Chain A
């Protein structure tokens, strides 16, 4: 099976812009979770989607949002970008829940100038 894929891999934006990241899970996986990884804060959970519904949400401001499509592909959007949003954004998929083995994608590295 093909692994989790994420696009784009690298992105440079300026403050105030918005960005959309995409994640394609492993075929058959229905749960997609998003994480932000920074040197200062480590790996932090953003949200999880299952069957096109947000099932869990971490402690991030409303500028961070996401959605999931009927084919389980997911997108996350960050509006009004801030310098502190510069990070590696990882998505992970699992069959049904985040309490099963999660398979991570390669990540999207976002740089906000």
Chain B
């Protein structure tokens, strides 16, 4: 099955700083790369995704970059705000099994 690693496990930043979370995967056939945000006590919500034919995608303060050769993709959050505090999960989808494998999550803490 797919091996997914997410780093760091915890990230603490000051409001206004940038945050970067990296996700590495093992299945070279993976073709869909989403990031989910889960606030405490809430359900996971998709915040941005990218497909294998695109290298970068941006949506306001959030961006995702994909390096298929190195098999990793990253979530970039600029100008962080306290409401960005949450656990973020990557979940690359294997192109063969179509089973999403979630990373262990990154707890982002934005200090006001």
Contact A98 B1 (CB under 8 A): no
- Neighbouring B residues of A97 by C-beta, 8 Å: 98
- A11–chain B nearest beta-carbon distance, Å: 17
Q: How far is the CA of A97 from the CA of B102 in the complex (A)?
A: 17
Contact of A45 among B32, B99, B103, B105 (CB under 8 A): B99
Q: How far is the CA of A33 from the CA of B105 in the complex (A)?
A: 19
Contact of A98 among B45, B93, B104 (CB under 8 A): B93
Most chain B Cβ neighbours within 10 Å, of A44, A45, A103: A45
Residues in B89-111 with C-beta less than 8 Å from chain A = 89, 91, 93, 97-105
Contact A104 B44 (CB under 8 A): yes
Q: How far is the CA of A42 from the CA of B104 in the complex (A)?
A: 6
Q: How far is the CA of A18 from the CA of B99 in the complex (A)?
A: 26
Most chain A Cβ neighbours within 10 Å, of B49, B98, B99, B100: B100
Contact B93 A99 (CB under 8 A): yes
Contact B98 A43 (CB under 8 A): no
Contact B32 A90 (CB under 8 A): no
Residues in A58-113 with C-beta less than 8 Å from chain B = 58-59, 90, 97-99, 101-107
- Neighbouring B residues of A58 by C-beta, 8 Å: 99
Residues in A1-57 with C-beta less than 8 Å from chain B = 33, 35, 42-45, 48, 55-56
Given A90-B44, A101-B46, A104-B44: A56 and B98 within 8 A (CB)?
Answer: yes
Q: How far is the CA of A31 from the CA of B104 in the complex (A)?
A: 24
- Neighbouring A residues of B93 by C-beta, 8 Å: 98-99
User: Contact residues of B with A, CB < 8 Å?
Assistant: 1, 31-32, 34, 42-46, 49, 89, 91, 93, 97-105
A-B contact pairs, 25 of them (CB 8 A): A33-B100, A35-B102, A42-B89, A42-B103, A42-B104, A42-B105, A43-B102, A44-B102, A48-B98, A48-B99, A55-B98, A56-B97, A56-B98, A56-B99, A58-B99, A59-B1, A90-B43, A98-B93, A99-B31, A99-B93, A99-B98, A102-B34, A102-B100, A104-B44, A107-B43
